[in-house]
Chain A
Amino acid sequence: MLNFLEILIRGLMLGSVYALVGMGLTLVWGVVGIVNIAHGEFVMLGAYFAFWAFSLLHVNPLFSVALSIPVFFFAGVVVHRRITERLVKEHELSALILTFGMSILIWNLAQFLWTNTYRSVPYLTGNFPFMGLVFGKSKTISFGLAILITTAIFLFLRYSRWGKAIRATSQNSEVALVCGINTIKMRMLTFGMGIGLAGAAGAIISLQWVIFPQMGGSYISKAFAIVVLGGLGNIQGALAGGLIIGALESLVTQYLTAKMAQIIPSVTILVILLLRPTGLFRK
């Protein structure tokens, strides 16, 4: 039983980081209306950002996590202004194919520049013993960071003026525009936030798992499962979805096989889309 509890808690810690990835995706999708398939690649870039900062400049990885948010926010703003804003009015499938191309471009460039070597950030190794259970230090701290960022985003969207404007844009872009909200700016901000979240998630991931150019693919499929589980544009839903996916993955890995755990996102997407296409939590 103790073992089960430990595995479950590990899964939830894992899930909190997945939730961070899923939240960026759901935010951009819900507000900007663009399904960013390249989201996983920004996670990968975030991980490499922390890795290079650590190995070349000896920057503390926790500081890299904080630093990655503004850096990736501006990267996202630039990408949106230059590329994706043009597609907002187009059919949503155009954006889907475009970001698909972007994803392939980014991970292949990364592979070309940094090769296929598996890398990791050796920081915070060791364990915290807690009430007879054992948790990895880096995993526990990642969990704390993920929850912190999630709370900050939630409060920002809920109470700040910009947060309200972003939510208005997501509900009805035209009415928001009539009410004097600069919807183009709000979409830009949201895209930046989404990419910022992806970068931060990547930096956090680099603390605990190996990083390599193709890693984005496995995170994007989990992120899609999270969006589908939580409902489009729903931040709390994304958090819950992330925790569910993480817990499932941890339990299946333990009690079945690691290969079976990789099927979870695909199965979740198919089952939820067919049975409850609005997500688990109706608003």
Chain B
Amino acid sequence: MRNPLERNWVILGIAILMAFLISLPFFATDYWITLVILIFVFTVYSAGWNLFSGLTGYTNFGLAWFIGVSGYVSTLLIADYGFLWLFAWPIGAIFTSMISIGVGYILLRIKGVYFAIAMVALTEGTRELFGTEYLTPITHGGKGVPFVAGIRLPTLYWSILLLAFITVLICYKVTSSKLGLRLMAIREDEQAAETLGIHTTRDKIIAFVLSAFFVGLAGAIHFTYQNYIDPTFAFNINLTLTPIVMTLFGGVGTVFGPVIGATLFTFIHEILWAELTLLYMAIFGGILMALILFFPQGLLGWMKERGILPRIRKI
């Protein structure tokens, strides 16, 4: 993209796409709006997962923990304390990122597979804890919280559109910044990176907390859209799995891979769900296996290898 003319075309393309997406609620049916809302929710989840795991190589199997904690905080604020959604969402996300600083500080010294397991344990443990008798007065226990946030569908749509746009922008900025380079150095060889003077713990925590904030915000919006939350639903392993599949398909460690993956897989999910309700999870598992075995670099990685796209970090 050194050619300034080419750069202008790209900006024009993005502007047209954004204009189309912003005006969508004026002409599309509710079905399409809800579908695109889901695309954006999963775009943020995937991009958020990729921002930490794709760059640092630490597999985060606890994405659902970010989603669930933030979803619960914002839901309880709306349902029990009468907060407006506009305030409840950011409070949920900020709360999640605040705890993530502590969690990251403690858990990010565990390496490799053990980190992945620790995150699963954290998610499972929190899920069980939220359903116990001891926390029932706060969390309403296992029976869940149905609620109405009083937000119109187009407003919800524009909020998640804005969030998705900002998340992708931040991912773009981080990936093409020095921080992104440092994170990738950690992925390639953490010890070597540390020897070269990279403050690995600090950088990992920054990426972890950024990821927690955006994923948490999307989680809060997701549950407002669903009008319901319960522990099994909020800390569901699918909420971790689906964004990983999407990111792997689009290309791990790329900026636009998660966006492409989320868009495509939301449609695939929609079709499979309608046609093969009982088998669709099994097919998802099969796709995940096939991706690791035959297509580990993802769509964008493959296109970069083939020379269809330039080999730069910014894509």
Contacts and interface: CB of A to CB of B under 8 A. Distances in A.
B113 interface: yes
A98 B121 contact: no
A94 interface: yes
B282 A98 contact: no
A98 B110 CA distance: 21
Contact of B110 (A35, A102, A273): A273
Interface in A97-133: 97-98, 100-106, 108-109, 111-112
A109 B282 contact: yes
B287 A101 contact: yes
Contact of B282 (A108, A259, A262, A265): A108
Contact of B131 (A101, A109, A259): A259
B19 interface: no
Contacts of B121: 221, 224-225, 265-267, 269-270
B122 interface: yes
A104 B285 contact: yes
- Secondary structure of the B side of the interface? helix
B80 interface: no
B279 A266 contact: no
B282 A104 contact: yes
24 contacts: A35-B117, A93-B59, A93-B116, A94-B296, A100-B288, A104-B241, A104-B281, A104-B282, A104-B285, A105-B285, A105-B286, A106-B285, A108-B282, A112-B278, A112-B279, A221-B120, A221-B121, A259-B128, A259-B133, A260-B134, A263-B129, A266-B125, A266-B128, A274-B110
Nearest to B129: A263
Nearest to A115: B278
A231 B76 CA distance: 40
A260 B289 contact: no
A228 interface: yes
A152 interface: no
- Secondary structure of the A side of the interface? helix
Counting chain B CB atoms within 10 Å of each CB, which of A94, A97, A105, A273 scores highest? Answer: A97
A96 interface: yes
A87 B113 CA distance: 15
B113 A92 contact: yes
Given A221-B124, A259-B131, A263-B129, 5 more contacts: A86-B293, A98-B289, A104-B284, A105-B286, A263-B128
Contacts of B285: 101-106, 108
Interface of A: 35, 83, 86-87, 91-94, 96-98, 100-106, 108-109, 111-112, 221, 224-225, 228, 257, 259-260, 262-263, 265-267, 269-270, 273-274, 277
Contacts of B279: 108-109, 112
B122 A35 contact: no
A138 B51 CA distance: 51
B132 interface: yes
Given A93-B116, A98-B289, A100-B288, A259 B132 contact: yes
B128 A262 contact: yes
Interface in B239-282: 241, 244, 248, 278-279, 281-282
Contacts of A259: 128, 131-133
B24 interface: no
A94 B112 CA distance: 11
Contacts of A103: 285
Nearest to A260: B132
A277 B115 CA distance: 11
B106 interface: yes
Given A92-B112, A92-B113, A270 B125 contact: yes
B118 A98 contact: no
